[in-house]
Amino acid sequence: MVHRRMPRPSELAPLLRPAPLTLDRTAAKLARATSIGDLRLLARKRAPRAVFDYTDGAAEDEVSLRRAREVWASVEFSPTVLRDVSRVDTGREILGGPSALPFVLAPTGFTRMMHTEGERAVAAVAAQAGIPYTLSTMGSTTIEGVAEAGRGGRHWFQLYLWRDRSVARELVSRAAAAGYDTLLLTVDTPVGGNRRRDTRNGLSIPPSLSLRTFLDGARHPRWWFDLLTTEPLTFESLAAGGGTPFEVINRVFDPALTLDDVTWLRENWPGKLVIKGIQSVTDARRVVDAGADAVLLSNHGGRQLDRAPVPAELIEPVVQELGDDAEVLVDTGIMHGGDVVAAVALGARAALVGRAYLYGLMAGGQAGVQRAVEILRAEVERTMQLLGVTHIKDLRPEHIRLRSAIRAPAHPDGGRAAGAPGR
């Protein structure tokens, strides 16, 4: 028998605690986001289809991106228990400087297209979080503007080389003068990848008011209002002209890039030099012998050569080959702090994340980027605690193993590794 009675007012009081009322709907939605996958869903609603797909998509059939996601999702952690994990240290030295977390915010092109606050917002968040931010040659904010917005933080610059080397000399000189400490040379883009979503959406840079974009803009009036009432959306580091992303890349970048250019940069850049886009042990050794301080294992987020090697699977053999000669970084498909922990356990010095913070930027500007970093930070800390590890430097290969992804497993970002489009 259940004996019922009327509750006392004193018993109801602790239950009647409504959530604080906020008139900022964006802030409320960001606060409810518990994963990068949640931010991705918000971004999809707030940004025009062509803009979202430019960020979310990859090349050809998007196999490279899908495989990268599957491998990170296949990680199996091996925890140790009965350890005092009341405090964890997530900081480490990356390329001669401090970072509060074992990840770096990666270079992304035309970032103000995702949200008008663009690179300045990302740089400000990175400086506050104590992690490096990398400005792209294809960025929509100047080298000096990013340095000002992220004052007090670490700034890296990503460089594409094109036919006119004098432009590269100028950019390298400006980055050094503005206090950038690391240069990333991207080498996996001799020609542009075939990004079918961009073609289907009719994406142009800068965005144009075609009938398609006009109709889509009617569903995203805030984005178009920001675009039309703020400073013009352009490439700030190069005069690339307009057109599709594929056309811009093929018109500007130099397909004759060779190892001699790595040597040339080493002679002209005073800071740390990273070669981005390494996809084999042999190439890793070649560029380090030519003077690189680090290699970034990357297939460009799946946006260049489809069915390229999965960067996560290259970490261990490249680390074994290079030893103490150079640091190893990795990107592509990283959507969870557990992915970052796994990368470090495999031997990477740090991971670079791109799409993860761009989803936050599209979802809510600088506040959205901040939320993305908060989510990743919490996931890194929690994964370390559950592994029984208190210092990043103590992560080892024995803490994880990569399992074959026979089926497309669920990714911890809340989406599906194989089915969900995006990085």
- The full set of domains in the chain, from first to last, is 34-73+92-384 (3.20.20.70)
CA–CA distance, 159 with 12 (Å, rounded to integer): 62
Measured from the Cβ of residue 199, the count of other Cβ atoms closer than 10 Å reads 12
According to the model, what pLDDT value does residue 206 have? 66
Tokens in use for 245? 């992303």
Tokens in use for 397? 């290969």
Residues 6+ apart with CB under 8 A from 364: 26, 27, 29, 30, 42, 46, 371
According to the model, what pLDDT value does residue 422 have? 40
Q: In 210-354, which ranges are continuous DSSP H helix?
A: 211-217, 221-229, 245-252, 259-268, 281-289, 311-322, 337-346
Task: Supply the DSSP string of 49-90, one letter for each residue.
Answer: HHHHHHHH--STT-HHHHHHHHHHHTEEE----S---SS-B-
Identify the band that residue 286 occupies on the pLDDT scale cut at 50, 70 and 90: very high
Sole residue written with tokens 């970002």:
413
**pTM for this structure?**
0.90
Paired with 105 in beta bridges are 133, 353
Identify the band that residue 213 occupies on the pLDDT scale cut at 50, 70 and 90: low
According to the model, what pLDDT value does residue 405 have? 44
According to the model, what pLDDT value does residue 241 have? 58
Average pLDDT of the residues of the chain: 89
Identify the band that residue 16 occupies on the pLDDT scale cut at 50, 70 and 90: confident
- Do 193 and 59 form a contact (C-beta atoms < 8 A)? yes
Residues 6+ apart with CB under 8 A from 278: 187, 284, 287, 295, 296, 297, 298, 314, 318
CA–CA distance, 319 with 349 (Å, rounded to integer): 10
Q: Which of 2-16, 22-36, 48-62, 283-297 has the lowest mean pLDDT?
A: 2-16
CA–CA distance, 218 with 224 (Å, rounded to integer): 9
Nearest to 340 by CA among 400, 308, 380: 380
Tell me which residues are annotated as active site: 300
CA–CA distance, 29 with 291 (Å, rounded to integer): 47
According to the model, what pLDDT value does residue 376 have? 98
Peptide bond into 206 cis (omega under 30): yes
Q: Which of 55-59, 248-252, 286-290, 331-335 has the lowest mean pLDDT?
A: 248-252
* Mean pLDDT calculated for residue range 356-382: 98
Sign of the alpha-carbon torsion through 287, 293, 299, 300: negative
Residues 6+ apart with CB under 8 A from 69: 333, 335, 411, 417, 418, 423
